[in-house]
Amino acid sequence: MLRINNLHAAYGKVEVLHGISVEVPQGKVVTLIGSNGAGKTTTMRAISGMIKPVSGSISLNGKDITGMSSSKIARAGLAHSPEGRRVFATLSVTDNLLLGAFPRLTFGRERGDVPGDLVRVFDLFPRLKERETQLAGTLSGGEQQMLAMGRALMLNPAVLLLDEPSMGLAPLLVAEVFRIIRELKARGITMLLVEQFAAAALEVADYGYVMENGRISVHGPAGQLKNDPAVREAYLGAAH
């Protein structure tokens, strides 16, 4: 499980996270919601080591990972499916997925059953199986999103970070992405989810944190947040 304690982070001189504490228990799905610029993506980037925290601590399964490099954090079992997908455009779908398992490689030996995991990812995303030899850059937006998620799963991660998995996707595909998240949850994968569709995110999550200007303003069980009038008005919109 993942525990973030009093995390401060900055871009250059400008501090954007002012003491974030978040806990993601084993086997649970936790969501971070909040408006633009609240610091959700920054939190994700700080957790996976893409930016170095100013202070505070992050631990994964009891092991302190604060300030470690991204590649070491990935080796420690944390997978990040980044905002905007970032697939390796000039590599095939299969190569993209196998690169996801790269941190499991030590001195030429793989931990666990990588070929088996590849089969399992293809089971989860049949569309990717159909396109296994195609270059990732030629996939549609929805397929690239699935590839980014599949690539993260190839790490066989202890915790999976999903940043805006539904961004820029057609309504049909948004539904598909949430179906997959539910499926992953059923398989017991621990997840931290950032989503623009706050209502849908709270639907699938066990617990939620609301971020405002780099701080956690409210947190609680997802069902409770969903019915909180302040949260409803500010983040869920009138439509829900």
Partner 1 sequence: MSLFKNIAAIVAIAVAASLPTMWSNPYYIHLMVVIGIYAILLLGLDIVVGYVGEVSLGHAALFGIGSYTAGVLGHSLGVPFLLTIPASIVVTAIFGAILALPALRVNGPYLAMVTLAFGTIIQILINEMDFLTNGPLGITIRKPIYFGHHISSADYYYIVLAALVMTLFVVQRILKSHLGRAFEALHDSPIASDCMGVSVYGYKVYAFVLSAGIAGLAGGLFTYSEEYISPNTYNFELTILFLLAVIMGGRKTRIGPILGAIIIVMLPNVLSDIDLFRKIAVGIAAVTVAYSIYVIATKQRSFKQMALPLLATIALAVSGFYIQDITGQRLTIFGLMILFVVYYLPNGIMGFLRGILLRIRPQWMHRHEVILEHGDKQHVWSVPDHPVTARGNLLEARNIVMQFGGLKALNEVNLEVKKGTVHGLIGPNGSGKSTMMNVLTGIYKPTSGEIEFNGKHITGATPSSIAGEGIARTFQNVQLFGEMTAIENVLVGLHHTYRHSLLDVVFHTPRCRREKLAARVRAASLLQFVGLVDLASEEARNLPYGKQRLLEIARALALNPSLLLLDEPAAGLTAPDIKELIGMINKIRGHGITVILIEHHMDVVMSICDTVTVLDFGQKIAEGTPAQVQSDDKVIEAYLGGTAAA
Judged by beta carbon, residue 23 or residue 83, the one nearer partner 1 is 83
Find the binding residues for partner 1 in span 191-230 (CB under 8 A).
Answer: 196-198, 200
Asked if 182 is part of the footprint of partner 1 (rule: CB under 8 A), the reply reads no
User: Binding residues for partner 1, how many (CB under 8 A)?
Assistant: 39
Is the CB of residue 78 less than 8 Å from the CB of residue 162?
no
Could you give phi then psi for residue 160, rounded to 5 degrees?
-115, 125
Query: Which among 43-51, 104-112, 152-160, 231-239 is the span making contact with partner 1, rule CB under 8 A?
Result: 231-239
Given 89, 105, 119, 175, the residue binding partner 1 (CB under 8 A): 175
Asked if 83 is part of the footprint of partner 1 (rule: CB under 8 A), the reply reads yes
CA angle 87, 85, 120 (to 5 degrees): 70
3-class SS shares of the chain: helix, strand, coil, % to 5: 40, 30, 35
4 burial class (0-12, 13-18, 19+ CB within 10 angstroms)?
buried
Could you give phi then psi for residue 175, rounded to 5 degrees?
-60, -40
Find the binding residues for partner 1 in span 15-44 (CB under 8 A).
Answer: 33-37, 41
Cβ at position 91, least distance to partner 1 in Å: 19
Asked if 109 is part of the footprint of partner 1 (rule: CB under 8 A), the reply reads no
CB-facing half-sphere around the CA of 32: CA atoms within 13 A: 30
Asked if 84 is part of the footprint of partner 1 (rule: CB under 8 A), the reply reads yes
Given 62, 108, 171, 188, the residue binding partner 1 (CB under 8 A): 171
Answer positive or negative: Cα dihedral of 212, 217, 222, 223: negative
Find the binding residues for partner 1 in span 130-159 (CB under 8 A).
Answer: 139-143
> By the criterion CB under 8 A, which residues form the site for partner 1?
11-14, 33-37, 41, 83-84, 139-143, 164, 166-175, 178, 196-198, 200, 234-239
